[in-house]
Amino acid sequence: MSTSFVPEGSQGISGFRPVQFKVSVVVPIYNEVESIPRLVEAIATALQDQCIAYETICVDDGSKDGSAELLKKLAQDRTDLRAVLLRRNYGQTAAMAAGFHHAMGQVIITLDGDLQNDPSDIPLLLEKLDEGYDMVSGWRKQRQDDMFTRLIPSKIANWLIGKVTGVNIHDYGCSLKAYRSELVMDMNLYGELHRFLPALAFIEGAKIAEMPVIHHARQFGRSKYGLGRTFRVLMDLFTIFFMKKFLTRPMHVFGLFGLLAILIGVGLGSYLTFLKLGLGQSIGDRPLLILAVVLFLTGVQLFSFGLLGELLMRTYHESQNRPIYRVREVVESESN
């Protein structure tokens, strides 16, 4: 198979990376030892039936149930599977970033390792992507999850995220998505930002589509998510909002509020000065004096934050990025 090259850019490793496959399927794994064999076979069946050149990259995120050992064994026996084993549990965002970095496909597919996403939907995602989109997001229209702990919170979160980011899709939480590789290379993933990949893609100028996909009930283990993630989602949502509005111009937000505070502080100070010097009134015991000083100092600080933000953004865009994960080893068949 011929090998072409595309620039490497998003995960902190400079240079070029080879593109050897039509599709790279990236699967973050955390304690899914029962699901892994069936998942790998399901992916193979879906893509081999379509005669698509593909690779499957399973990223073990510090599993404790034997998932890493099983992946090592499978990767040594199969030419279509690579196992990326992280040193510890970094979280799903870092696991996906590791998978993106090691992918060598023109298109990258992501899905969960718990068999709730159906690999048979992958060819449909590819067809939709070929219509001219940069990203296709799955929509679990008939979602097989608990109503009160998963479905209702998810609907609220999807509505809120859509309103804040301006990217109105039905299901931000669906892991089954398709990306063009050049889009993935432009996105930096930190914290818990894997939930906001459509918004990050939108910031990069991507053309995004959504399509219904199959969703199965969980067969093995238990969900890794609960209501406790709500706070993290809200914090990341603020991050996304700032990135969308002010990523390249932080002075526009900090500087604006800083300038307003300075002007109000100077105005109050001028008024108090007139009372003192023009009318001879005492101003030392007036709360307005304290307010004027606080507003002026706060404005100077906010304006300084804006300048620092501008410098940090230039460093962010111009410096070499470092990966957010550390790989213990990469296992693949010796015949690869």
C-alpha 315/C-alpha 220 separation (Å) is 45
pLDDT of residue 323: 60
C-alpha 210/C-alpha 162 separation (Å) is 13
Q: What are phi and psi of 84, to 5 degrees?
A: -110, 115
pLDDT of residue 241: 75
pLDDT of residue 227: 55
Q: Which CATH superfamily is domain 4-245 in?
A: Spore Coat Polysaccharide Biosynthesis Protein SpsA; Chain A (3.90.550.10)
- Sign of dihedral through CA atoms 26, 56, 180, 151? negative
Burial track 215-254 (b if 16+ CB lie within 10 A, e otherwise): beeeeebeeeeeeeeeeebeebbeebeebbebeeebbebb
**Residues in Cβ contact with 231 at an 8 Å cutoff, skipping those fewer than 6 apart:** none
**pLDDT tens series, the chain, 336 aa:** 333 333 343 343 334 456 678 999 999 999 999 999 999 999 999 999 889 999 999 999 999 999 999 999 999 999 999 999 999 999 888 999 999 999 999 999 999 999 999 999 999 999 999 999 999 999 998 887 676 666 777 788 778 888 877 888 888 889 999 999 988 887 778 767 788 889 888 888 889 999 999 998 887 767 665 555 666 677 777 777 777 767 667 777 788 889 999 999 999 999 999 988 888 888 888 889 999 999 999 999 998 888 888 777 767 656 655 565 667 678 888 766
User: Does the reported pTM lie above 0.75?
Assistant: no
Map out the domains of the chain as residue ranges: 4-245, 251-317
C-alpha 283/C-alpha 262 separation (Å) is 20
E strand segments, the chain: 4-7, 16-19, 21-29, 54-60, 81-86, 105-110, 135-139, 177-180, 208-212, 327-332
